[in-house]
Amino acid sequence: MNYKNLGNTDLKVSTICLGTMTYGEQNTEKEGFEQMDYALDNGINFFDTAELYSIPAKKETYGKTEQIIGNWFGERKNRKKVILASKVSGPGLKWIRGGGNQFDQKNINEAVDNSLKRLQTDYIDLYQLHWPERKTNCMGRLGYVHKEDNNWNNFEEILSILEKIIKSGKIRYIGLSNETPWGLSKFLEISKIKKLPKMMSVQNPYNLLNRTYEVGLAEISIREQSGLLAYSPLAGGYLSGKYRNGKFPEKSRYKLFGNYFPRYKSDIDAKAIEEYYKIAKENNLNFAQMALKFCEIQSFVTSTIIGSTTMEQLKSDIDSVNVQLNESVIKQINYVQSIYPNPSP
């Protein structure tokens, strides 16, 4: 396994992070335990979850993933071996604390305390804001339409609230998710000016079909030591090749919940996927492993978050750390990107 520092901390996280959002929906507790055991035994020390999970987000499954992880900690007595990341949900879901502003003192404290109970731990290593409170073009929405809104994030207030929780020992470090270049730079600016905690990471989508992070956020990540935790590195499974030619295997995410995941379904996506698949085949590479390794080797990426529903998938994904992409393969990948630039932002 490979490791990098989380932000400018001395905390070394595995460059493959175990994503857990399927636990409690597509994966049973027993299957989740098996995945976590295998991941830890194979060098993965970084797990990511959220209060919102399982996915798809539903009131009935809210918090289930954290509960399964907590039960695993309770049985294995190994909490100190894992660097644990979780998230407080953003606004909009009425069944999570009324759905309004989630980043005020009352709601953040309640979210942290409830996550700690479900996770059966007294601290979370990395606590992330799941999506912005303000109205902006995140989660695949192109084009920014400005609307004056007095209910925007108060960045300084949020950082001050999180600072108090850090001082209490309940969380160690903080990060963002589904954030824009302006949002990350604003948080970093205020943390410097006001001497408040720094955002150590940004968890955004990044894969061969969506390299938009490179445009504005990559430079910030490198210069400010606030790296990307790349989610959806396999584009929801499309970059494993299993959905080629319109086939959707039984129990796969898109077979079960296709309407919930609208990305990666366009004709342009399909053409790009075929070209990337050809590169893997011509170079005797496993398609999924090639896609994962491409993410892992980017200088602005701290860790690549994998999510698997089967042990076969998990083992193959973790083995991607041993894959080498030569200069020729990188050039071929970049050529396809130039023809089909970011078909699924």
Q: Name the residue type at position 75.
A: E
User: How big is the CA angle at 125 (ends 234 and 223), to the nearest 5 degrees?
Assistant: 65
Which residues of 142-265 form beta strands (DSSP E)?
171-177, 199-203, 227-230
Cα→Cα distances 291→210, 252, 285, 307, Å: 12, 19, 10, 14
DSSP label at residue 215: H
User: Coil, helix or strand for 69?
Assistant: helix
Least Cα distance to 154 among 162, 146, 142 occurs for: 162
Q: How far is CA 233 from the centre of its chain?
A: 9
Residue-by-residue DSSP string for 74-140: HHH--GGG-EEEEEE--S--TTTGGGS--SSHHHHHHHHHHHHHHHT-S-EEEEEE-S-SS----TT
Q: Choosing from 3, 23, 53, 144, which is the catalytic residue?
A: 53
Here the tokens at position 118 are 């479900």
Annotation marks residue 277 as catalytic: no
DSSP label at residue 280: H
Here the tokens at position 154 are 């108060």
Residue 2 CA to residue 43 CA, distance in Å, equals 8
User: Coil, helix or strand for 19?
Assistant: strand
Which positions are annotated as active-site residues? 53
